[in-house]
Amino acid sequence: MAPSKSIDLGDFDDDDDAPLPARGGIAARAMGTAEAPYLSTLNEEQRVAVESLDGPVLVLAGAGTGKTRVLTTRLAHLLATGRAWPGQVLAVTFTNKAAREMKERIGLLIGGVVEGMQWLGTFHSIGVKILRRHAELVGLKSDFSILDTDDQIRLLKQIVAAHDLDEKRWPARQLASHIDGWKNRGLLPEKVPAGEAHAFANGKGAELYAEYQERLKILNAADFGDLLLETLRLFQENPDVLADYQRRFKYMLVDEYQDTNVVQYLWLRLLAGGHGNICCVGDDDQSIYGWRGADVDNILRFEKDFPGAKVIRLERNYRSTPHILSAASGLIANNEGRLGKTLHTDLDKGEQVVVRGHWDGEEEARAIGDDIEALQREGHVLNEIAILVRASFQMREFEDRFITLGLPYRVIGGPRFYERAEIRDALAYLKVTAQPDNDLAFERIVNVPKRGIGDTSVKRVRELARTRGIPLYRAAQEIVETEELPAKARNSLKGLLESFRRWRALLDGLPHTELAEIVLDESGYTEMWQNDKSPDAPGRLDNLKELVRSMDEFENMAGFLEHVSLVMDSDALQSDDKVSLMTLHSAKGLEFDTVFLPGWEEGLFPHQRALDESGRAGLEEERRLAYVGITRAKRLCKISFAQNRRIHAMWQTALPSRFIDELPESHVAVEEAASPHAGFGWGRGGFGESRFDRANPFSTGYETPGWKRARAAYDSGESVRHAPHFIEGELVAREDAEATPFQRGERVFHMKFGYGTVSAVDGNKLTIDFEKAGTKRVLASFVERP
DNA sequence: GACGGACGGCTTTTT
DNA sequence: GCCGTCCGTC
């Protein structure tokens, strides 16, 4: 949701149900003869995508083909031709940023701010809006609060503990991810397949999930998954409500369709049920969020799901040079499950994609640093240079190097503003002030700063709350009137409650920013950080100031709090010239003149865990990630790998990524690394069977101390122990590892160990008594039913 | 109840 | 090698 200045929490009126202008009205007729100016800037396919308004449409928009332009123009077109009022169009995106951008661009197209586009937003923000209107139908009150991941974990911890389960063996975090997974797939507790319910705490998974849902209802709260799942349930159980929204949303637009999960898909299909005017835009080759529930199948199946669908391919790329485009296309062609697109461009050939090998990660960072300084000397702007890594730990090497060089850089997608502890604490104070029944917020700050109300006291309050069925805050009010707590804790708690009472009284009288300052001051929270000696304390104080400042944009406290529970990002300013450093995932949708892609090594990229846990599907997703990386580059793309890398304090020898060998030769130039350590073995004869000798990385007689050490480790097997067993990942892992869980007692077959019986199931790990090989723990994806 | 040492885990991340 | 969580001690 865009940071709108006022959020109406109680807007239950249906002012957007105004009658449609008759088809063939004046506006439409005028359109027929005079060409709308915004149409003339589109290419042919884009124009078809914009003008195919009726029925299901899938726009397959390759990287850099003008996807956002099509989406926004199509929306503008719907409004300009009088097909629909702004309030009759449902337009969903995944991120707040995307929603914000779309709003701005539509404004530019049709002039001025678009009024009444109340159904343009993220899946989640639209879900909340619908849920608040009909909360009582799903067992909530319309002012329900939204839990973030942190609150969710704390709640689950309590539930796990109440079942006398060992937190160590069954971490709440793991349960949370199971529950998220179920919610992503649209599964209510009673629908969780028996096999999967076994995945946690010996079969208690579904039971704990059910209990968690009950607790949420008692707390009058919903987690992120509920915002989608409960909306779906609302539609499924209340046909009249569904029919109302089907009528309301005359046209639907979906961005990044390849990232939708099952609930979102079911949601969309229900809503599009009547008219079927749904337009989904996406790129199956850029689906990189399978691990958090996105289902590429949604886009692959579109034509089946929506019969008569029109599929439009945008294949003309406006971003990258032919070499870059061809390298990326050649790579992605190795994937099997694709709809297939052929990207082309009119740009000049440009430079080939550069591939370069290094001795270790440090040398790689040094070389990239040098490259960037050279580019800078040639007059390139740092803002147009990016380093995209697979995993965030890789960033450190670059940060170290850039600090040494004095090269300005910015890290994108680090810890989010609203996820910082001090911000969450401050928000918890404000929440308790505005919503005394918010138990999780209350618990978070009851003893922060330390005021002598420890775990034992909190536990007493919680017990009372539970037995009496009242919120913690009320329980606290009652308990301080008794002798239940030790005097110190009692007085302290009494004082805190008195403070909250005082602050609450100021809610209506005082501007909310001033009140926030008072709360943070009088609670001793600011003071706590002022007295903190740690080096990051001043930064935290700054963040608190920034928080209060940002509240200014909102009308009142309630509006502000609603905004922050949905919007967890804060836009970093892009004013000064800096190199961007980020993960491949956060680079999606961005573009840069020059892109560096370091760390292309087996085990790191493709990541070993992706292969272990998801087999072939995992490998294909990693390949799409590589594709996303390359297609971010406009003019120059430099891929590199290191032979040796330190991961978790252990030196590991790695092989060049298979993705490097998958790049089509004619679009790649191998560059010798400048360092004296590099240039051994694999650089020699250009392209052979494999460009880089991956069978034996130590096949040359190269002799330096570091090299000898590495070879000794290799020979002794020390690094082999950690070396990726990529062959297994590729050859025997099954694609649908998750779909059919194994049960205890089941007879299975393993490629290496032969036949055996499953004796225990722990998520995707199985303990199997093999007939020949004894008892082993193996991944479920490596066994099959005989 | 608060603090400090030991222990384990460790891809990606939005809402 | 670093960070967050847990448990034991004062």
Estimate in Å the CA A510 to C1' B4 gap, whole number: 43
Q: Is the CB of A649 under 7 A from strand C?
A: yes
- CA A272, CA A306: separation in Å to the nearest integer? 9
HSE, CB side, 13 Å, CA atoms: give it for residue A376.
Answer: 17
User: Mind listing the pLDDT tens digit for each residue in A283-329?
Assistant: 999 999 998 889 888 998 999 999 899 999 999 999 999 999 999 99
Residue type, A319: R
Q: Is the CB of A609 under 7 A from strand B?
A: yes
CATH number of A147-219, picked from 3.40.50.280, 3.30.930.10, 1.10.150.120, 1.10.10.160: 1.10.10.160
Please name the nucleotide lying closest to A393, CA to C1': B11
Nucleotides on chain C within 7 angstroms of protein Cβ: 1, 6-7
Estimate in Å the CA A133 to C1' B8 gap, whole number: 46
| CA proximity to A353, closest of A762, A134, A636 | A636
Estimate in Å the CA A453 to C1' B1 gap, whole number: 8
- CA A257, CA A282: separation in Å to the nearest integer? 5
DSSP state of A412: S
**Are the beta carbons of A759 and A744 closer than 8 angstroms?**
yes
Estimate in Å the CA A347 to C1' B10 gap, whole number: 43
Annotated binding site of A: 61-68
User: Mind listing the pLDDT tens digit for each residue in A338-395?
Assistant: 888 889 999 988 899 999 999 889 899 999 999 999 999 999 999 999 999 999 889 8
**What is the Cα Rg of chain A in Å?**
29
- CA A168, CA A189: separation in Å to the nearest integer? 24
- CA A698, CA A680: separation in Å to the nearest integer? 9
- CA A289, CA A627: separation in Å to the nearest integer? 14
Phi, psi angle pair for A238, to nearest 5°: -130, 80
Q: Is the CB of A648 under 7 A from strand C?
A: yes
CA quadruple A193, A196, A201, A202: dihedral, nearest 10: 80
- CA A716, CA A708: separation in Å to the nearest integer? 12
How high is the pLDDT of residue A685?
Answer: 32
Nucleotide C1, nearest residue via CA and C1'? A649
The fold of the A36-132+232-314 domain, in CATH, is Rossmann fold (3.40.50)
Q: Which of the residues of A are catalytic?
A: 67-68, 255-256, 286, 632
How high is the pLDDT of residue A752?
Answer: 55
| SS3 of A175-196 | HHHHHHHHHHCCCCHHHCCHHH
Estimate in Å the CA A532 to C1' B4 gap, whole number: 17
CB within 7 A of strand B (chain A, 99-138) = 122, 124-125
How high is the pLDDT of residue A713?
Answer: 38
How high is the pLDDT of residue A386?
Answer: 95
How high is the pLDDT of residue A4?
Answer: 34
Q: Is the CB of A613 under 7 A from strand B?
A: yes
| CA dist A383 → A375, A387, A578, A623 (Å) | 12, 11, 5, 26
Q: Is the CB of A566 under 7 A from strand B?
A: yes
Q: Which residues of chain A have pLDDT under 70?
A: 1-35, 112-114, 201, 414-416, 535, 567-575, 673-742, 750-754, 760-767, 770, 772-784, 786
Nucleotides on chain B within 7 angstroms of protein Cβ: 1-3, 10-15
Annotated binding site of A for ATP: 61-68
Please name the nucleotide lying closest to A611, CA to C1': B11
Sole residue written with tokens 């298979």: A658
Please name the nucleotide lying closest to A649, CA to C1': C1
- CA A103, CA A87: separation in Å to the nearest integer? 13
CATH number of A329-408+575-671, picked from 3.40.50.2000, 3.40.50.300, 3.20.20.70, 1.25.40.10: 3.40.50.300
| Domain residue ranges in chain A | 36-132+232-314, 147-219, 329-408+575-671, 417-568, 746-784
Please name the nucleotide lying closest to A167, CA to C1': C6
Sole residue written with tokens 């800037």: A41
Strand partners, A410: A580
User: Mind listing the pLDDT tens digit for each residue in A536-565?
Assistant: 777 788 888 888 888 887 888 888 888 877
Q: Which helix (H) or strand (E) holds A49?
A: helix A44-51
* Count of helix runs (H) and strand runs (E) in chain A: 31, 21
DSSP state of A5: S
Estimate in Å the CA A637 to C1' B10 gap, whole number: 30
Q: Is the peptide bond before A449 cis (omega within 30 degrees of 0)?
A: yes
**Are the beta carbons of A78 and A47 closer than 8 angstroms?**
no
CB within 7 A of strand B (chain A, 445-464) = 447, 450-457
Please name the nucleotide lying closest to A1, CA to C1': B15
Written as six digits, the tokens of A336 are 């099997």
- CA A477, CA A479: separation in Å to the nearest integer? 6
Estimate in Å the CA A692 to C1' B13 gap, whole number: 33
Estimate in Å the CA A711 to C1' C8 gap, whole number: 44
Domain A417-568 CATH assignment equals 1.10.486.10: yes
- Using the Cα atoms of residue A76, residue A296, residue A391 and residue A622 in order, give the sign of their dihedral: negative
A98 contact partners, CB below 8 Å, separation of at least 6: A122, A255, A256, A589
How high is the pLDDT of residue A61?
Answer: 94
**Are the beta carbons of A274 and A242 closer than 8 angstroms?**
no
> Is it true that A36-132+232-314 and A329-408+575-671 share their CATH fold?
yes
Q: Is the CB of A472 under 7 A from strand B?
A: no
A674 contact partners, CB below 8 Å, separation of at least 6: A367, A370
How high is the pLDDT of residue A286?
Answer: 95
A740 contact partners, CB below 8 Å, separation of at least 6: A195
pTM: 0.76
Q: Is the CB of A764 under 7 A from strand B?
A: no
Please name the nucleotide lying closest to A648, CA to C1': C1
